[in-house]
Structure 1
Amino acid sequence: MEEEQNQNNLRTLFNVEKISKNSQLRDILDLIPSKTFAPAFKDLFERLRRHKHLEEYAILPNTLLCVIDGTQYYSSKQIHCDCCLHKEHRTGEITYSHAVLQGAIMHPDKKQVLPVMPEAIQNTDGTKKQDCESNAAKRFIANLKKHIQDKDLWFVVMV
């Protein structure tokens, strides 16, 4: 949109004139732990629940569908950190990567989805065993239960 119409959402919605390059944004955002954003997701969910917007997403009474999927968002053969997942190829070459498990509340009749707090798939426990989508899904579901205060609300989680 920026290239074709010389317009963008940041300028239109927030009056931001100059947008930083992706590398600058990554340099800033990469320093912030992802768990820092959890309160924003919790607040959004609570507002949607309180104002009854979640009711239109119910697939059954008091039951929401949360679909989860993992995705890789960084990969390099040279640059890596302690949290990187790693894959050793037959040639002995190692590829380092970062991945995340993202969930969204959705309804089959709606185009819009409601994202929930993602769960990082990363090596953090100091063991040599790789983290995986299955372990991240267990953490994701536990966190989802912990952050949802409504005891009458149920989730169906699909992978």
Structure 2
Amino acid sequence: MPASLNRSVTQQLLDLVFEKAQEIPDPRSSNGRTGDITLADIIMYALAVFHLKHSSLLSSDDKRQQPTVQSNARDLYHVEHIPCDSYLRAVIDRIPTEHFRSFFTACFAYCQRHRWLKHYQYFKEGYLAPVDATQTFTSNKIHCQNCCTKNADDPKKATIYYHQLSAICLVKPGVKTVLPLMPEPITQQVDASKNDCEVRALERILQDLRREHCHLKLILNFDDLYSKGPTLKKVLSHGYHFIAVAKPSDHEALVEVLDDLDKQGKVQRFTYTDKKGYRHGCN
């Protein structure tokens, strides 16, 4: 959200997320609750931990009995009963990731209705949307059926289990806040002989984007990992533009062509100086 948004708007978004949290089926029981702690309590407090920038779930657990923490959890996040960190983890892990998709689509629709997307307009061809992956978990002991693995076929090395997440959001240079779209987990796929990866996750993101935001014009931004012919052709086939890093060591033929064009004076260069005096350029 733009930095100028006031508390009332933030609260409206939190209220919207709370409404969607109440619609998620509770994995613990058929009646939707276990004891006094509802599934919405668990989901909203997990959000609060990140929103309030706690250093960890454990650090938030140490403070959950404080009156101020309980008041903020209730008034801002609709949390009536704060779960302990171990119980929160146990329940959250059982919720299929796809159930959280409505959070992102509802908040994005809210932004569209209030014409906030204009804050992210930069190029007329579309909104800038970086796509990149981050690792969310790694261990050589703890693992689940959804973990990807490294060194699994090498008996001399310990098997490493990990989870990654491919994230996408709308950004604009000079604007500190971003507008996230639904991320895509990189996890072990059903009946897959190979690990899931960032490129396969991108393919799923492209399909979801066309289904959920069919009229949204995007310029996808990639690092060198994605700058391969088949991947970029799929991006174009979905109607999106792209800006991709191309390392010379990975694209020798492309560099040779550009060098020849440069010698012929056919390469255009653009430079831009921002408000802080930094110069940016590209070919």
The TM-score bracket by the shorter chain reads 0.7 to 0.9
Q: Secondary structure at the match of 1:111?
A: coil
The equivalent of 1:65 in structure 2 is 128
Following superposition of structure 1 onto structure 2, how do residues 119-130 of structure 1 map, counting pairs within 5 Å?
119-130=184-195
Percent of pairs with identical residues: 31
TM-score (norm 1): 0.84
The equivalent of 1:54 in structure 2 is 117
Show CA shifts across 1:3-27 (max 9, x none): 89x7555366247587434332211
- Report if the CA contact (8 A) 2:189-2:195 is conserved: no
- Partners of 2:110 and 2:190 lie apart in 1 by 34
Give the letter for the 2:157 counterpart.
G
- Partners of 1:112 and 1:12 lie apart in 2 by 24
Higher RCO, 1 vs 2 (CA within 8 Å, ≥6 residues apart) = 1
Structure 1 range deviating more: 80-89 or 114-123: 80-89
The equivalent of 1:79 in structure 2 is 142
1:99 equivalent among 157, 161, 164:
164
Q: Secondary structure at the match of 1:39?
A: helix
Show CA shifts across 1:75-94 (max 9, x none): 12122222210001763210
Q: Secondary structure at the match of 2:181?
A: strand
- Report if the CA contact (8 A) 2:129-2:168 is conserved: yes
Unaligned runs of 5+ in 1: none
- Report if the CA contact (8 A) 1:55-1:62 is conserved: no
Q: CA RMSD in A?
A: 2.4
Show CA shifts across 1:100-156 (max 9, x none): 11111111121111111010101113122111011111211221221114x2x3111
TM-score (norm 2): 0.49
Give the letter for the 2:128 counterpart.
L
- Partners of 1:15 and 1:122 lie apart in 2 by 31
**Cα distance, 1:34 vs. partner?**
0.6
Alpha-carbon spacing, 1:20–1:70, altered in 2? closer, same or farther (3 Å): same
- Partners of 1:138 and 1:132 lie apart in 2 by 10
- Partners of 1:15 and 1:139 lie apart in 2 by 33
Q: Secondary structure at the match of 2:141?
A: coil
- Report if the CA contact (8 A) 1:66-1:158 is conserved: yes
- Partners of 2:185 and 2:95 lie apart in 1 by 13
Structure whose alpha-carbon radius of gyration is higher: 2
Identify, as 1 or 2, the structure richer in helix. 2
Following superposition of structure 1 onto structure 2, how do residues 10-25 of structure 1 map, counting pairs within 5 Å?
10=73, 13-14=76-77, 16=79, 19-25=82-88
